[in-house]
Structures are given as C-alpha cells and as structure tokens.
Structure 1
Amino acid sequence: MKKLEIKNLHVSVGDKEILKGINLTIGENEVHALMGPNGNGKSTLLAAIMGNPTYTVTEGSIFYDDKDVLAMPVNKRSIAGLFLAMQYPQEVPGVTNSDFLRAAMNARRDKPVPLFTFIKSMEKTIQDLQMKEDLAHRFLNEGFSGGEKKRNEIVQMEMLRPSLSMLDEIDSGLDVDAMHVVAKAINQLRQETKMSLIIVSHYDRFFTMIEPQFTHVLVDGKIALHGDGDLARRIDQEGYDWVYEEYGIIPPENVKPKVKPRSTLGSCAVKDMVSKGEEK
C-alpha cells in the first residue's frame, strides 16, 4: 500500500518561513481536503512535495511508498507516482500537448508507448474532459482560457495515471458544467486506479462532487485542526472564525476575524430569520 508520510516539515521562501512543522499521512485511495485562509501555506505544501525549487525545505521529511521524496529530483517524484495540478498552469509555446504527454508517459515505461495506443488514449481523454478535438496539436496551454488550462491539467492526470494527485484549486475558473466534467473524470480514475487525492479548495461545491474522507485546516503554516468530510462543509458555511474561537488559535496577521453583527431584533428574531434563510 502506497502511503505519503510528512513529518515536521518546515519550508521557507527566501528568509521567510512558510510551513512551520507539518505532520500529515495520506493513505492509498484516500481523499484529503486541505483548507485554510489564503496565504497560510496550502500551495507551499503541495509545491514542496512536488519539488518546486522556489521552496526550501529546512527541516523534516517526506516519504512516499517508503522512498525519500526529498532526495529525488522533480522528474523522479513524478515517475514515483506524484502529480500536481497547478493553480496557475504555465504556457509552454512550441511544445504540443501530445509531444509533452507522450514524452512524460514514455519516461514511466521500459518501452515507448505505441503510437496508435497513445492516440486512442488521448482521443478518449479529450472526450472525457470535453476539450476541443485539436487539443493534441495545440501548444501546451498557449491561448487557453483559465477553465481550459484547468481541464488540461486533468487531461494530463488521466493520461499519466498517478497514484497520488494534488489538486491546487483546480475548481477555480471552472463553470458549474465544467466542474461536473472534471469531477466525473477524477472519480472515474479513482475507481480504476485507487488514486489518492489532496485537494485544495475554498468551496464545498467541489467537495460534494469529490467527497473527502479527511479535512485538514492549515493556519499560519501549521495544521491547526483535523477532521472528517463534515469539517469541510462546516467551514464552507461558517468560515474560520469558529475555529479560532473554539481551539484558541490566534488568527494570522493577514486574516482579521469577522465582527459578529448585533441585532436590535433580539436573539429569537435573528434565529427565526436564519431558519427562514433571510440572513446570510
């Protein structure tokens, strides 16, 4: 059983420490929601796991399938089964989607994937994600809309079939229909491969389509709270103020707790309005 184990992970960008001791375990075929206010280290964690050189690991360890991830270059991490769907996919002029994906697939194989097999697989994947038929011949993400870039990340995921995928706000920029298409493709791949997921998202809508079994709340570079899938739904409905209050957490400097509104109608009247959906 492949397992990701992160222990006491500290990560810095330049002289600034972003992650301040992350401990996290992801088992096979598990879905983990990673939540928290903006700027508190969620994307940093995923980037550090994948090996982005902008982020420096100063302390701690990351093991996947009992292999030392921090000792691997980025391409070896990918070959080991790790995949990151980026929040801001980059354009790569001059490199077609088909050339990029075939090279990536061949890096995982002893023998190159037969051309006919590759073409049929890519045609099916393009249909699954409802992308334009000429996707294979277009340069990687060049001229793509925001939603197309996000769906193209899932095209890559489906073609490469990783064992652990990290989705960094893959739902942002997608309309409702596209979100359903992406979620369906992800769920189907999970059924076929037992792929694990770490999902960064701010919205419960995506988590109703890909249901997390575990939720982790990252505040000021630390995991402040662990829970099940219901925790993600409560945060979507109530925000993070209750987390700070119930668990005695000091909000980070870039987050100001909301001031609860006072009503002259009395508590009973307010509760009645809330029950009728008249107050948000």
Structure 2
Amino acid sequence: MNEYYIGQKIKNLRKKMGLRQSELAEGICSQSQVSKFEKGEGIPSSIILYRLSQRLGAPMEYFFEENLEEYIQPVKKLIRYYTDETNYKMVFDIISKEKKTEMYKEDLDYQQFLLWHEGICRQHVFSDFKKSQDLLNGALELSDLAKPSSSNRKSEILNSLAIIHAHNGDLDKAITFHNKAIEEWEKLDYVHDPTIYQKLLFNQSKSLGDAREYKKSLEKAERGLNVCLQNNSLYLFAELWYEKAEVLMFLGEKEQALEAFQRSESFFRLQSNTVYADVVREDIEEFFGNQ
C-alpha cells in the first residue's frame, strides 16, 4: 500500500475543502495523526480512513485508485468491525455503497463477502427473514466459484443461516445448519482463522440449549472451551463458560454450574467486559446468594 499516495489524496481533498488538519481530525483522530498520514508516515486504519473519507466527501475507493485490490481488505475489516459491534445499520449502509462499485461486479470473493453480510443485516435491521435467507443462500452458492480461501467462509455462512433460523423460531433447522457448518469446518485442509471454530461451537451449543437438548449443548460448550485452550484464545471463552453454566443449571448440577458461572464472570472481568460480568454476578446472586 502506497502510504505517500494515500496521504497526498487526504491532503489535497482537505485543502480543497478549506479544512485545517485539526478540523479534519476532530472526533476521528488527532491532528498529529492527520499530519503523519499526509506526510506518508503511516496509514489510517480502515475505520479512521472511512470516517475521514466521509468528512472529505469522497468514497473510500478514491484513495486506492492505483490498486483497487488493496482497497478491498480495509473495507472488509471495516464491515467486520461494525458487525462485531452489532452496528448492522452502518454495515448495511457501507454494503449498499459497495454494491455500486466495479470491485463488487468483478471480484466474486468480494461479492460473496458482501452478500453474506447483507443477509445478516437484512435480518437484524429489517427483520426480513426471506430476503436474508435468499442472500445467504446466494452467498453460499458462490463458494465453489470464488477464491479458494472462501471455503473457510462457507462454514461462517452456514452458521449465519443457522442463526437467522433460530431468530425465526425454527430451532430444528438452526441445529441442522449448525451441524453442516461444523462438518464443513472439520474437513477443511487449510484454516485461515482458527477462532471461527470457537464461534461455530458456541452458537451450536446455544441453539441446542434453546432446543432443550442440554447434554448435547454441554458437550459442544466443553468442546468449544477445549478449542479455545488449544488456540490459546480468549475469544468467546467467557461466553462458553456461561453457556456451560446455564446448561448445568438445567441439568440440576448446581455445584458445577456455580463454578462455571464464577469462571465466566472472572474471564469477562479479565477482558474488562464489566457489563456482562455484572450480568453473570446477578445470576450468581439470584441462584446461589452471595458467593
């Protein structure tokens, strides 16, 4: 990525709009960061560049005209960031703009990625189950046509289909799609992000718990915890302990459930996630008194 080229684009647009560096930076980053970007001494993160582009009135692809391939990765990071933040309205707005670009038409991998996330947004923003399902199925059909790396994505799309079916109240179909997602993942020769398996197992355990298949749910939660340890990752580790605790409560294993709740709370606090830690603490006090 050409830092100097991007920096010059930012500088030229800023001057054209008559903005000082501090005015451009306000609420986005520091004035010193803008200065460094313009000198080619660093590259804005995808989030900062997106916000700067909005203030400068330019689409993000403007900064990557010499190499549009480099443009795709920051946009993907941006979409993943807002998806993780559950800001689905922002994700939908970004996708709506991206579907008008040449990259969407020309790059099947990118097209699949955008269709997948649009399907997620259609469910969360508009509660449009039918459109969401159609988009996710369309993304799934591109798995054999897009880049080889998208084979990793097939499990994630199946997982998204499982989640929208669960939201729609069809737990049997949700569990079927969760099972397919796990099967696809476990037969992969190459894994680009091992934490995806943790997410698949967590969601599978949750749907099984909702369907009152508690022993199966417990099995998946425990497998998820083991995968976290194998990957040396805290991603969903606290959530998996919480899922295990809830299932143990339903199974009448109160002593083990208390230990699982306490572990969940500890790991949420370790990650400075005080909101969820406090929720777990409330559950502990409700079920077990002051422990």
TM-score by length of 2: 0.29
- Larger Rg over CA atoms: 2
Counting helix residues as a fraction of each chain, which structure ranks higher?
2
Which has the larger strand fraction? 1
Bigger RCO of structures 1 and 2 (CA < 8 A, at least 6 apart): 1
